[in-house]
Amino acid sequence: MGAPLQIDVLTLFPGMLDGFLSESMMKRAAEAGAVTIRRINLRDFATDAHRTTDDRPFGGGPGMVLKPEPVFKAVEAVRTVGSRVILMTPQGRRFDQATARRLAGERHLILVCGHYEGVDERVRQVLVDEEISIGDYVLTNGALPAVVVIDAVVRLLPGVLGGVGAADADSFSAGMLEYPQYTRPAEFRGLRVPEVLLSGDHATIARWRAEQSRRRTAERRPDLMQQEGQADDEHKIA
C-alpha cells in the first residue's frame, strides 16, 4: 500500500463527522493506513475575537453568507502541492461513481463545506478546483455531503474492501445497476434463491448476473442504458 490519501474537511461543524469516522469501514481504513482524515474547524480561522464566520449578504436578502477570510486562511493552512480543493454545494456537478473513482486517485482532497446561504463568491473564484453536489436538493450545511463523498471515495482505495476488484460489481461501476444478491438460507418464508446461484456453474452464474443487471437497469434507470448505448456507439465510430 502506498502513501495514504489525505482528506481535510473544512467545516463549521466538525463534530458531525465524529461518529462516521469512528465506525465501520472508515475506522478500518484509517487504521490500515489507507486514508488520513482531518476535521478542520473554520471558526479557528476567524479574524476577530468572536470567531465570526458569517455576515449579511451585500445587496440584501435572507440568511447569512460564509465570509471569505476564514475559508481562505483554512485552505491556505492545509493546502499542499497536489491538493484538490472541492466545494460542496448544490450548484456543483452531480457526484457519481466515475467522480468517486477519479478522486480516489488523488493525493490530497480538501472539502470545503458551505453553510447558511452559501459562501462568498470569491472563494469559488480563487480557491476552488471543482464544485460537487450530491443531488438536486438543499441541506443545512455541506458536512453531510462531504461524508457521502468521503465514503464513496475511501471504499475504492486499495485494500479497504478486501481483495482486488471487490468494488468492480457495484452499481454504477460498470455503467449499470448491480444484479440481485442472495445469502443463506436458500429458502425463507416460501421464497427460494434462484436455482442458478446454487448450481456451482460459475459461467452460467456470471451470465445470469449480467442479464439481471441489464434487466434491473432497464426497469429502474433506463437513462443509464441510454448512456451505455451512446458510449458503445461512440466506441464503434472511433
Catalytic residue positions?
90, 117, 155, 170
Tally of CB atoms within 10 A around 161: 17
Number of neighbouring beta carbons within 10 Å of residue 131: 17
- The cell for 81 is 502541492
Is 41 in a helix, a strand, or coil? Answer: strand
Spell out a b/e string for 22-57, using b for 16 or more CB atoms within 10 Å of the CB, else e.
Answer: eeeebeebbeeebbebebbbbbebbeeeeeebbeee
Rounded CA separation 29/104 (Å): 13
CA 96: distance to chain centroid?
8
> What's the full length of the chain, in residues?
238
CA 171, 172, 176, 179: dihedral to nearest 10 degrees?
Answer: -10
- 121 contacts 89 by C-beta, under 8 angstroms: no
Measured distance CA(132)–CA(233) in Å, rounded: 29
Residues 115, 117, 118: CA angle, nearest 5 degrees: 60
